Amino acid sequence: RAFNFNAGPAAIPLEVLERAQAEFVDFQGTGMSIMEMSHRGAVYESVHDEAQKRLLGLLGAPVGYKVLFLTGGASTQFAMLPLNFLTEGKTAGYVRTGSWSDKAIAEARLIGETYIAASSEDDKFMSVPDLHQLQIPENAAYLHVTSNETIEGTQFKEFPDTGSTPLIVDMSSDILSRSLDVNRFDLIYAGAQKNLGPSGVTVVIAREELLQNSPKHIPTVLRYDTHFKNNSLYNTPPAFSIYMVNQVLKWIEEQGGLTGIEALNVKKADLLYQAIDQSSGFFRGCVAESSRSNMNVTFRLSSEDIEKKFIKESEQEGFVGLKGHRSVGGLRASIYNAVPYDTVKALVDFMAEFQRKNG
């Protein structure tokens, strides 16, 4: 297998792919693939329900939280959130941390009034803003935070207390990578294609009361209450993706749940950041130390030419996806849950060898 550092779609655990392969043609003796079955049948529905239960279980969510499986990616949530919650007379708070937060803000501005609650623009988004002293207006519909900026490589280590204002978090690139007190969040959403499985499904985990009464004028399929009332079976769900998410969730349980996966993620990130920090400036981390993401490690070399050489030679050695996002350049290693420690070790060894030859 390739050393896969893609930012998304990203690596899926080998064990999961092999299990899916084993039941790809004949799912549990039914003579059909799961993707050939009716989404209204008992077999598919049990997979659907099991995936929801596993997700809530892994997160340790208290009673009163519901999982939705939606389509259209996290990008559709950028629109659904303001459509459902940003009603007349309200304003929505957004924390500006970089590329993805800005897409979420742009979408909300099409729908209603917004304000910037905090921003790290002055630091060119190379850190996350301090959220301790946030002033939240009384008519705030919600506060939106991007927990991990996939492109810049920053990550919040703590989240604000927003009192009675709903805290809504885009966890597309770090969901299930660490333990979390779900009670502190009102709605969490994530596209599946980084830590949860293949693309095609977006998960929403939210307090039930937020999902029950959408404004009557918005289209049926864009209303949270439609999907809530129909257990995410209002229209045909991305059944195969949901089946794969269920398999990935099972795999996370086998790694010791979120505590186990977090310990492994910290170990992988420490290994890589240490290699960067101990290279005497040959490699340079892009992000302020306290805001560094444990999922997307962004770094640079002394010139674009040498970065190009690094990428080219890494590809020849079987490394995939180390080129930084086109909007920021440089290098990025995405080390999501499914990237094994040994893959990160292989990268660190390659980096040391590259430095020896080019330093």
Catalytic residues: 100, 170, 194
Contact 114/248 with Cβ under 8 angstroms?
Answer: no
Stretch touching ligand PLP by CB under 6 A, among 72-80, 136-144, 207-215, 342-350: 72-80
Starting at the earlier edge strand, list the strands of the sheet with 202-207: 65-70, 202-207, 187-191, 167-170, 140-146, 91-96, 113-119
Stretch touching ligand PLP by CB under 6 A, among 68-76, 123-131, 177-185, 286-294: 68-76
φ/ψ of residue 32, rounded to 5: -140, 155
Residues 127-146 that bind ligand PLP (CB under 6 A): 146
355 is in an annotated binding site: no
* Binding-site member from 4, 120, 127, 173 for ligand PLP (CB under 6 A): 173
State the minimum distance, in angstroms, from the CB of residue 31 to ligand PLP: 33
* DSSP character string of 88-114: TT-EEEEEE-SHHHHHHHHHHHHHSEE
75 is in an annotated binding site: yes
State the minimum distance, in angstroms, from the CB of residue 209 to ligand PLP: 25
* Site membership for ligand PLP, residue 152 (CB under 6 A): no
* Site membership for ligand PLP, residue 73 (CB under 6 A): yes
Stretch touching ligand PLP by CB under 6 A, among 70-78, 230-238, 241-249, 286-294: 70-78
Stretch touching ligand PLP by CB under 6 A, among 29-37, 117-125, 167-175, 271-279: 167-175
Residue 279 and residue 357: Cα distance in Å, rounded? 13
- Residue 314 CB neighbour total at 10 angstroms: 22
* Binding-site member from 129, 191, 237, 285 for ligand PLP (CB under 6 A): 191
Q: Strands, DSSP E only, in the chain?
A: 3-4, 65-70, 91-96, 113-119, 140-146, 148-149, 154-155, 167-170, 187-191, 202-207, 284-285, 296-300, 319-320, 331-334
CA dihedral 27, 32, 35, 41 (to 10 degrees): -90
Q: Give me the 83-112 binding string for ligand PLP, x by CB under 6 A, dash otherwise.
A: -----------------x------------
State the minimum distance, in angstroms, from the CB of residue 82 to ligand PLP: 15
| 273 to 90, 135, 292, 299: CA distances (angstroms) | 42, 34, 9, 9
* Site membership for ligand PLP, residue 334 (CB under 6 A): no
CB-based contacts of 137, cutoff 8 Å, min separation 6? 91, 93, 115
State the minimum distance, in angstroms, from the CB of residue 197 to ligand PLP: 12
Burial of 316 (0-12, 13-18, 19+ CB in 10 A): exposed
161 is in an annotated binding site: no
Residue 74 and residue 262: Cα distance in Å, rounded? 23
Residue 84 and residue 186: Cα distance in Å, rounded? 14
* Site membership for ligand PLP, residue 8 (CB under 6 A): yes
Q: Give me the 251-290 binding string for ligand PLP, x by CB under 6 A, dash otherwise.
A: ----------------------------------------
235 is in an annotated binding site: yes
343 is in an annotated binding site: no
Residue 112 and residue 12: Cα distance in Å, rounded? 38
State the minimum distance, in angstroms, from the CB of residue 70 to ligand PLP: 10
| 162 to 103, 178, 333: CA distances (angstroms) | 22, 21, 33
Q: What single-letter DSSP state applies at residue 61? A: P
* Site membership for ligand PLP, residue 150 (CB under 6 A): yes
* Binding-site member from 59, 74, 117, 328 for ligand PLP (CB under 6 A): 74
* Binding-site member from 33, 71, 75, 179 for ligand PLP (CB under 6 A): 75
Closest to ligand PLP by CB, 100 or 350: 100
State the minimum distance, in angstroms, from the CB of residue 88 to ligand PLP: 27
Residues that bind ligand PLP (CB under 6 A): 8, 73-75, 100, 146, 150, 170, 172-173, 191
Binding residues for L-glutamate: 40
